[in-house]
């Protein structure tokens, strides 16, 4: 009987201790979450409550320190936004702090606090401050109005007698010569002979492209073959080696051709330096040549990537 | 129950490793392929005296490499440029810190920069490109052995560079000049060839060797005429 009583006592005290610990834990948890602290309250005045709703965060230096609790309209028709902040974070709010409603294109709105001077007196509790808005839509409106001004200026430029129309007349005199057999280039380069030479060099880049294209096809076929050889027992056979050296020669040829194209480009640069008028047309031509060379480069890259035994290209110190 | 699981895992791991070893290497990034080929072209064009092309190619290579934001890689390009200048007897300071003056060079590049500056004392042989490894050990006391060491360098460009730096260090003699100019002549590298020939001409005049001076002057004229855009062979 006595044994049973002491057992009851033990179980009872154990339950009490566990219960006490549980309560202490809950209190500690609530305390650490700031439940017993009276938050710091203040309100923001604004003309427009768009995008503002209870729960949006108030951030200082990007760290949330509080949130909006209520949005209401006062008797004068103004919007009053009530907010609360952790009491310990209230020291970041100063008399001259700026409160800006930040509404990014993507994501939720937030109120950003900026306190440029932390030596000024702190913001008193329950005070009312002005909420400014940084709305990207407003910026767009500004850009739109700027664009309109720009368009108006352009209108004036292109009007008859305007600066641009005068320029166009000048271009007309050049284009008189552009009607010749070599068109634009004759206009730019002056004589048909020069234009012919240039035309030929442009054509040679096109030929080069066709040749490089054919080369990639051949290389593709060969690489497939080398793959099979590589994985066959015995590894790289003599026949493969011969094919590989042939591939090397082809690659060298492609490089040489590409070098020609680069020189061509250099010629174009030299020409553009000599000719003063009609640079626009020349720019067009140059961009075309640039594109051709780029294509050739791409092809060469492809070849290099498919090349089974390629070393990693690296700049070596000579 | 557990053993087969581990074995299967090991087998999978091993096969994955094997497969990844067999699989093709990741494709070379564009900037790297472009920079490497541009630098190759740059070297050839610069040595052969196509200045405009070379300048353009170097600029493009620097631009391609600068895209990595890595000062060491860009410095490497400037070191190549500096080495080429050395080959043509241009001893102006290197611009390898042009991209980022305060970024320290990696050890290999730093050793190479010191080598190019003729500051060979204490340069670790192992950090230099292998063809130069024998050189830093030869100081002024071994002046007679430098020509042998230079002749032993197989790569003609490296031989020119080493000859130029050795000359700057006061270790060269008439044989160094001849070795270097012959090397440049064999490769058809007009730019270094002109520089070395002119140096030989000055040296021949100093020795009052009129015969050789006249011969060298003719060679110089021949090279110079090949630069002229109006160069036309005699009918």
Partner-chain residue, chosen from A266, A314, A316, that has the shortest CB–CB distance to B53? A266
Identity of the residue in A270, A305, A318 whose CB atom sits nearest the CB atom of B43 = A318
Chain A partners of B157 at a C-beta cutoff of 8 Å? 318
Tell me if A25 is assigned to some domain.
no
The residue of chain B nearest to residue A308, with distances taken between CA atoms, is B24
Contact residues on chain B for A318, CB-CB shorter than 8 A: 43, 80, 83-84, 87, 155, 157-158, 161
pLDDT for B58 beyond 70: yes
Does residue A287 sit in the same domain as residue A228? yes
Residue A184 lies in a domain: yes
In a domain, B136, yes or no: yes
> Is A174 found in the same domain as A102?
no
- Are residues A302 and A177 part of one domain? yes
State the CATH number of the domain containing residue A271. 1.20.58
Question: Does B183 lie at the interface with A, CB-CB under 8 angstroms?
Answer: no
> Does residue B102 lie in a domain region?
yes
Q: Which of B33, B109, B129 lies at the smallest CB-CB distance from A313?
A: B33
Using the beta-carbon criterion (under 8 Å), do B76 and A263 form an inter-chain contact? no
Check whether B1 has a pLDDT greater than 80: no
Closest chain A CA to residue B33: A313
d(CA A282, CA A273): 10
Q: Are residues A199 and A129 in the same domain?
A: no
- Nearest residue to A112 (alpha-carbon basis) of A52, A154, A200: A52
Average pLDDT over every residue of A200-222 = 54
Write the residue in A259, A304, A317 that is nearest to B76 by C-beta: A317
Nearest to A313 among B28, B87, B158 (CB): B28
The predicted pLDDT at position A44 comes to 87
Domain of residue B140, residue span:
69-226
Q: Among residues A135, A155, A185, which one ends one of the domains? A: A135
B 60-89 residues inside an 8 A Cβ radius of A: 61, 65, 73, 76-77, 79-80, 83-84, 87
Give the nearest chain B residue to A314 (CA atoms).
B36
- Residue B173 is predicted with a pLDDT of 82
**Residue among A300, A305, A317 whose CB faces B129 most closely:** A317
Residue among B36, B83, B112 minimizing CB distance to A313: B36
Does one domain contain both A295 and A214? yes
Binary contact (A301, B33; C-beta < 8 A): yes
Among A154-163, A281-290, B158-167, B213-222, which stretch is predicted with the lowest mean pLDDT? A154-163
> Does residue A231 share a domain with residue A125?
no
The domain boundary, picked from A79, A114, A135, lies at A135
Assign B60 to helix, strand or coil.
Answer: helix
Q: Which two tokens stand for residue A87?
A: 């009491």
pLDDT tens-digit series, residues A254-277: 555 555 545 544 554 454 445 444
Among residues A117, A135, A153, which one ends one of the domains? A135
Give domain status of residue B53, yes or no. no
Q: Tell me the per-residue pLDDT of A130-186, one tens digit each, with 9 for 90 and over.
A: 887 765 445 444 444 444 454 444 444 444 454 434 443 444 444 444 444 444 444
- pLDDT at residue A104, rounded to an integer: 67
Band of pLDDT at residue B188, cut at 50, 70 and 90: very high
> A58 lies in which domain range?
40-135
Interface test with A, best of B53, B70, B229 (most A CBs within 10 A): B53
Q: Does B164 touch chain A (CB under 8 A)?
A: no
What residues of chain A lie within 8 A of the CB of B74, using their CB?
none
- Helices B51-66 and B30-47 pack at an angle, to 10 degrees, of 160
Q: Are strands A40-46 and A98-102 parallel, antiparallel or unpaired?
A: unpaired
Check residue A249 and give its pLDDT: 52
Q: Determine contact: B181 vs chain A, CB below 8 A.
A: no
For the stretch A88-144, pLDDT in tens is 888 888 888 888 887 765 667 888 888 888 888 888 888 888 887 765 445 444 444
Give the range with max mean pLDDT: A43-47, B119-123, B160-164: B160-164
Over 50: is that where the pLDDT of B16 sits? no
Among A80-84, A230-234, A287-291, B159-163, the range scoring the smallest mean pLDDT is A230-234
CA distance A269 to chain B (A): 10
Is B182 within 8 Å of B150 (Cβ atoms)? no
* Nearest chain A CA: its distance from B221 CA (Å): 26
Domains in chain A, number: 2
Write down the pLDDT at residue A24: 95
Check residue B181 and give its pLDDT.
93
Kindly state whether B21 is in contact with chain A, defined as any CB-CB distance less than 8 angstroms: no
Residue A179 and residue A104 in one domain: no
Say whether B158 and A313 touch across the interface (CB within 8 A): no
What pLDDT, on the 0 to 100 scale, is given for residue B92?
85
User: Same structural domain for residues A174 and A126?
Assistant: no
Whether A203 shows a pLDDT value over 70: the answer reads no
pLDDT band at A1 (very low <50, low <70, confident <90, very high): low
What is each CA distance from A177 to A126, A169, A183, A272, in whole angstroms?
A: 81, 14, 7, 18
- In the predicted structure, residue B206 carries a pLDDT above the cut 90: no
Assess if residue B132 is contained within a domain. Answer: yes
Q: What are B124-178's pLDDT values in tens digits?
A: 888 999 999 888 887 766 667 888 889 999 999 999 999 999 888 888 888 889 9
Contacts of A312 in chain B (CB under 8 A): 25, 28, 32
Q: How many domains does chain B have?
A: 1
Residues of B in contact with A300 (CB under 8 A): 37
ipTM of the complex: 0.70
Answer whether residue A248 is part of any domain.
Answer: yes
């Amino acid at each position: 009987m006595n044994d049973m009583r002491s057992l009851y006592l033990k179980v009872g005290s154990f339950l009490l201790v566990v219960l006490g610990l549980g309560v202490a834990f809950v209190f500690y948890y609530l305390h650490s979450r700031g439940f017993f602290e009276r938050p710091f309250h203040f309100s923001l005045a604004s003309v427009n409550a768009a995008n503002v709703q209870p729960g949006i965060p108030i951030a200082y230096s990007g760290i949330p320190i509080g949130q909006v609790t209520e949005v209401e309209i006062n008797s004068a028709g103004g919007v009053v936004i009530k907010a609360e902040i952790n009491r310990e974070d209230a020291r970041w709010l100063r008399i001259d702090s700026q409160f800006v409603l930040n509404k990014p294109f993507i994501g939720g709105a937030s109120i950003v606090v900026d306190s440029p001077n932390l030596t000024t007196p702190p913001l008193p509790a329950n005070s009312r401050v002005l909420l400014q808005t940084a709305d990207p839509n407003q910026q767009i409106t500004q850009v739109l109005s700027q664009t309109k001004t720009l368009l108006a200026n352009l209108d004036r430029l292109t009007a008859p007698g305007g600066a641009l129309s005068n320029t166009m007349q000048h271009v007309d005199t050049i284009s008189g010569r552009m009607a010749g057999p070599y068109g634009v280039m004759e206009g730019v380069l002056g004589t048909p002979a020069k234009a012919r030479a240039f035309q030929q060099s442009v054509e040679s880049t096109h030929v080069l492209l066709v040749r490089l294209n054919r080369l990639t096809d051949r290389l593709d076929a060969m690489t497939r073959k080398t793959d099979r050889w590589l994985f066959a027992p015995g590894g790289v056979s003599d026949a493969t080696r011969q094919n590989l050296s042939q591939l090397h020669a082809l690659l060298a040829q492609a490089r040489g051709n590409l070098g020609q194209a680069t020189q061509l480009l250099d010629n174009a640069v030299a020409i553009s330096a000599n000719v003063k008028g009609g640079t626009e047309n020349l720019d067009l031509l140059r961009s075309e040549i640039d594109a051709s060379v780029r294509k050739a480069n791409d092809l060469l890259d492809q070849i290099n990537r498919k090349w089974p035994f390629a070393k990693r290209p690296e700049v070596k110190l000579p | 129950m557990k053993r087969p699981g581990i074995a299967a895992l090991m087998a999978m791991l091993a096969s994955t490793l094997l497969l990844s070893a067999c699989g093709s290497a990741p494709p070379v990034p564009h900037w790297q392929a472009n920079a490497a080929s541009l630098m190759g072209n740059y070297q050839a064009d610069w040595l052969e005296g196509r200045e405009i092309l070379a300048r353009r190619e170097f600029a493009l290579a620097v631009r391609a490499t600068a895209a990595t934001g890595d000062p060491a890689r860009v410095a490497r390009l400037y070191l190549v440029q500096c080495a080429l200048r050395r080959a043509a007897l241009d001893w102006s300071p290197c611009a390898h810190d042009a991209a980022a003056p305060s970024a320290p060079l990696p050890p290999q590049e730093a050793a190479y920069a010191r080598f190019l500056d003729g500051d060979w004392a204490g340069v670790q042989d192992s950090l230099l490109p292998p063809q130069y490894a024998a050189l830093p050990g030869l100081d002024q006391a071994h002046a007679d052995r430098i020509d042998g060491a230079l002749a032993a360098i197989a790569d003609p460009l490296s031989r020119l560079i080493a000859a130029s730096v050795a000359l700057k260090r006061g270790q060269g003699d008439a044989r160094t000049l001849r070795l270097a100019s012959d090397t440049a002549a064999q490769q058809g590298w007009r730019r270094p060839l002109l520089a070395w020939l002119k140096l030989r001409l000055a040296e021949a005049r100093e020795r009052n060797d009129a015969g050789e001076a006249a011969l060298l002057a003719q060679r110089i004229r021949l090279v110079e005429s090949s630069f002229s855009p109006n160069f036309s062979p005699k009918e």
